[in-house]
């Protein structure tokens, strides 16, 4: 991802409302949302097709869990930038995600303004890598 271009972002979350909210927030941050998926399988297919700069991935999903999807994304591209999204408040969950290869962890049950700031911080961190 070059500093002069909009980052391409893929969002994977089983909650349609969260997909719409995060898409809207990312557009205010000048990101290019290249796709959204409601489950891990669809997310993997879009990841292969779009090769995004960043994946925002829900931790708890039916079917393939967020952790399983993360592992499969990293098997496809070992240096993929994946940030986990969750409403679960648990240090153990965030630690598991980071140990599995996620670049960061974002609580999605924040107020939209706080979530926007947190996403902006994460995008800046990823851009600096």
At residue 113, the pLDDT reads 85
Rounded to two decimals, what is the model's pTM? 0.92
3-class DSSP state of 59: coil
Domain that holds residue 43: 8-128
Q: Is residue 111 part of a domain?
A: yes
CATH of the domain at 121: 3.40.50.2300
What is the C-alpha separation between 104 and 26, in angstroms, rounded? 16
Q: Is residue 2 part of a domain?
A: no
Q: Is residue 117 part of a domain?
A: yes
Q: Is residue 3 part of a domain?
A: no
Buried b (16+ CB within 10 A) or exposed e, 96-111: bbeeebbbbbbebeee
The per-residue pLDDT for range 90-116, each reduced to its tens digit, is 788 888 899 999 999 888 888 888 888
Q: Is residue 1 part of a domain?
A: no
What is the C-alpha separation between 79 and 105, in angstroms, rounded? 16
């Amino acid at each position: 991802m070059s500093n002069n271009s909009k980052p391409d972002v893929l969002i994977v979350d089983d909650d349609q409302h969260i997909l719409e909210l995060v898409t809207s927030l990312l557009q205010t941050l000048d990101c290019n949302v290249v796709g959204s998926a409601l489950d891990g399988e669809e997310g993997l297919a879009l990841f292969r097709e779009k090769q995004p700069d960043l994946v925002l991935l829900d931790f708890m999903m039916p079917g393939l869990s967020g952790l399983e999807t993360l592992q499969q994304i990293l098997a496809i591209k070992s240096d993929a930038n994946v940030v986990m999204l969750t409403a679960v408040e648990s240090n153990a969950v965030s630690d598991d995600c980071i140990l599995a290869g996620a670049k960061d962890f974002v609580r999605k049950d924040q107020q939209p303004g706080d979530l926007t700031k947190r996403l902006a911080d994460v995008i800046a961190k990823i851009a600096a890598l």
